[in-house]
A and B are shown apart, each in its own frame.
Chain A
Amino acid sequence: MTTSAPAARGERDGRADGAAPARPAVLTMQQAINRALAEALAEDPRTLVFGEDVGRLGGVFRVTDGLQRRFGEDRVFDTPLAESGIVGLAVGLAMNGWRPVPELQFDGFAYPAVDQIVNQVARMHYRTRGAAPMPVTLRVPSFGGIRAPEHHGESLEALFAHVPGLKVCAPSSPAEAHQLLLQSVRADDPVVYLEPKARYWERGPVPDDGPAPPVGTSRVVRPGRHATLVAWGAMVHRCLQVARLAAEDGVELEVVDLRWLKPIDADGLAASVARTRRAVVVHEAPLTAGLGAEVAALVQERAFRSLAAPVQRVTGFDVPYPAGPLEPKYLPTVDRVLLAVQRVLEF
């Protein structure tokens, strides 16, 4: 449900960051999320933003910078350190008519909140036979690639995608970040919104708020005819790197940004594979029971006769995200993806 009052739109255009309405503003991803949060707060007075250090500090990645000053301490506020409590607070607020957008400061700090996320947020609508919807958007700075300390780089998508009642998305660019966040906060279901920390400072054009493809729609970010690379978050960029290198060899790879990890765009995947006949799915998370398995299953269910080779997975290993110098070895490298492409091409 969207309540987009004209007054709210006027306020949106009056932003202090100088975004010209005529031409898309060029923003970093964290600025794009900041802008989406500001728009969500402006357009619906029921929207609340809270979490650890999101108020006065503006978040450790400055994603909520300036929001407390602009919208007041009732609507943008710091909480004590209590991740389970933060998500539990969101449940109660939602039951009282608010639309909470809590932040869990880092992915590793989502684990202490798993009880409230899984046992409470995810199934309140079901438990109450729809009487208590949970329009909660849980923002989680996620994934690796920044040499962060332990518990500051984790891939949660398979864990949460597995939970009935949760939707999950992960943007790959500033524009996607803006659009997916607005979609998430406008949805009446709980969405876990995973922000790729490694891409926070990437700049890109961010069009004004406007019509968006439905929840659960993927996007072809680079068309190609020899194989499809499927990814989300920061791995979309790894796949684009690979596609550029493959082009040097005359191999045209299609890159699909899944965007939504639940629901997954099975039709979009099938359509791409129908064109390319081969698929490689790339993610940072460990291999076993990762979403690559879900993608592979959907592709073979929907496009079995199109396939010229088994779907390949290039992923993190079945190990915890390692520290500093080992992290680049853990994350899918260009060569590991190229090897998988070679396997599907030469099958």
Chain B
Amino acid sequence: MAEHTFLLPDLGEGLVEASVLAWLVAPGDTVERNQPLVEVETAKSAVEIPSPHAGTVARLHAAEGATLAVGAPLVTIDAAAGPDAAAGPGIVGTVPDEEPPARRVRLRPPPE
């Protein structure tokens, strides 16, 4: 078993947030891959998010009615071992990032 925290993806090409309408699962529930976990609403539509893993729901990270930023934790699944949990590691749940303002280049002010 391994915990996977699923981050809210951009559900509609450039959206920045979504609101939780209703949870369809509770902590402790066993879920199948692709089983609907939660209904969320974006500026474009209301959609159900299917579970990326089979396993057990460990934690919900947002209350119903809450608005979450894209990239914020949505739910943690204790994933069942096996091929499903191994499928696409590091891909499911990642979000398109606005490049963080990380930097490597340092500057010096010019002589006055």
Q: Are A145 and B14 neighbours in the complex by a CB distance under 8 Å? A: yes
Which residue of A197, A245, A251, A333 contacts B109 across the interface (Cβ within 8 Å)? A251
Which residue of A146, A226, A252 contacts B13 across the interface (Cβ within 8 Å)? A146
Tell me, rounded to whole Å, the shortest Cβ–Cβ distance linking A343 to chain B.
10
Tell me, rounded to whole Å, the shortest Cβ–Cβ distance linking A52 to chain B.
16
Contacting residues, chain B, for A241 (C-beta < 8 A): 101
Q: Are A198 and B108 neighbours in the complex by a CB distance under 8 Å? A: no
Interface string of A303-347 (1 = CB under 8 A from B): 000001000000000000000100010010111001101100110
Contacting residues, chain B, for A222 (C-beta < 8 A): none
In the complex, A130→B17 CA distance in Å? 48
Q: Are B107 and A338 neighbours in the complex by a CB distance under 8 Å? A: yes
Interface string of A48-91 (1 = CB under 8 A from B): 00000000000010100000000000000000000000000000
In the complex, A238→B108 CA distance in Å? 20
Tell me, rounded to whole Å, the shortest Cβ–Cβ distance linking B72 to chain A.
15
Q: Are A334 and B107 neighbours in the complex by a CB distance under 8 Å? A: no
Tell me, rounded to whole Å, the shortest Cβ–Cβ distance linking B69 to chain A.
11
Contacting residues, chain B, for A338 (C-beta < 8 A): 103, 105, 107
In the complex, A252→B55 CA distance in Å? 52
Also in contact, A226 and B110, with CB within 8 A (given A147-B96, A241-B101): yes
Interface string of B7-19 (1 = CB under 8 A from A): 0001001111100
Contacting residues, chain B, for A146 (C-beta < 8 A): 10, 13-14, 96
Q: How many residue pairs at the A-B interface have CB separations less than 8 Å? A: 74
Query: Residue on B with the closest CB to A278?
Result: B110
Query: Residue on A with the closest CB to B102?
Result: A334
Q: Are A335 and B13 neighbours in the complex by a CB distance under 8 Å? A: no
Is the C-beta of A250 less than 8 angstroms from some C-beta in chain B? yes
Contacting residues, chain A, for B103 (C-beta < 8 A): 245, 334-335, 338
Query: Residue on A with the closest CB to B17?
Result: A201
Q: Are B101 and A201 neighbours in the complex by a CB distance under 8 Å? A: no
Contacting residues, chain A, for B43 (C-beta < 8 A): 28, 30, 62, 201
Tell me, rounded to whole Å, the shortest Cβ–Cβ distance linking A71 to chain B.
22
Query: Residue on A with the closest CB to B44?
Result: A62
Contacting residues, chain B, for A331 (C-beta < 8 A): 99
In the complex, A308→B13 CA distance in Å? 42
In the complex, A341→B37 CA distance in Å? 47
Contacting residues, chain A, for B99 (C-beta < 8 A): 328, 331, 333-334
Is the C-beta of A151 less than 8 angstroms from some C-beta in chain B? no
Q: Are A249 and B109 neighbours in the complex by a CB distance under 8 Å? A: yes
Contacting residues, chain B, for A250 (C-beta < 8 A): 107-109
In the complex, A333→B98 CA distance in Å? 10
In the complex, A76→B66 CA distance in Å? 34
| Those 6 A-B pairs whose CB atoms lie nearest each other, nearest first | A146-B14, A338-B105, A249-B107, A201-B16, A147-B96, A241-B101
User: Besides A30-B43, A245-B101, A335-B105, 15 other CB < 8 A contacts?
Assistant: A147-B13, A148-B13, A198-B98, A200-B14, A201-B15, A201-B43, A249-B108, A250-B107, A250-B108, A251-B108, A308-B110, A334-B103, A335-B103, A338-B105, A345-B107
List A residues at the B interface (Cβ < 8 Å): 28, 30, 60, 62, 145-148, 152, 197-198, 200-202, 226, 241, 244-246, 249-252, 278, 308, 324, 328, 331, 333-335, 338-339, 341-342, 345-346
